[in-house]
């Protein structure tokens, strides 16, 4: 049986819902910043340190826990893309 607790490109086409959880290290982010980061990390889920896939009736729910390292990776990825 597949492990559903790390990024899996095979499961990505079956993701029908996303959830974002926030580590204590980023508890001071504003709601606006959280929305921006959540959108960015779900668009680049391979950068997340903590990814979990939960089975749903029609596919999977991708759950990502954002921490300070995740935000750093998003920032670096964005800089490299420019």
pLDDT means per 10 residues in the chain (82 residues)? 82 96 96 97 96 95 97 92 80
16: which 2 tokens?
């029908």
- What is the phi-psi region of residue 16: left when phi exceeds 0, alpha when psi lies from -120 to 50, beta otherwise? alpha
Domain ranges of the chain: 9-81
Look at residue 82 in the predicted model and tell me its pLDDT. 78
Q: Pick from 74, 62, 63, 76: which is nearest to 33 by CA?
A: 74
Look at residue 78 in the predicted model and tell me its pLDDT. 87
């Amino acid at each position: 049986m597949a492990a559903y607790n790390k990024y899996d490109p095979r499961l990505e086409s079956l993701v029908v819902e996303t959830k974002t959880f926030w580590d204590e290290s980023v508890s001071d982010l504003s709601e606006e910043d959280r929305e921006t980061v959540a959108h960015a990390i779900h668009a680049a889920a391979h950068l997340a340190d903590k990814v979990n896939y939960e089975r749903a009736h029609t596919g999977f729910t991708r759950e990502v826990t954002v921490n300070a390292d995740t935000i750093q990776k998003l920032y670096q990825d964005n800089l490299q893309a420019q």
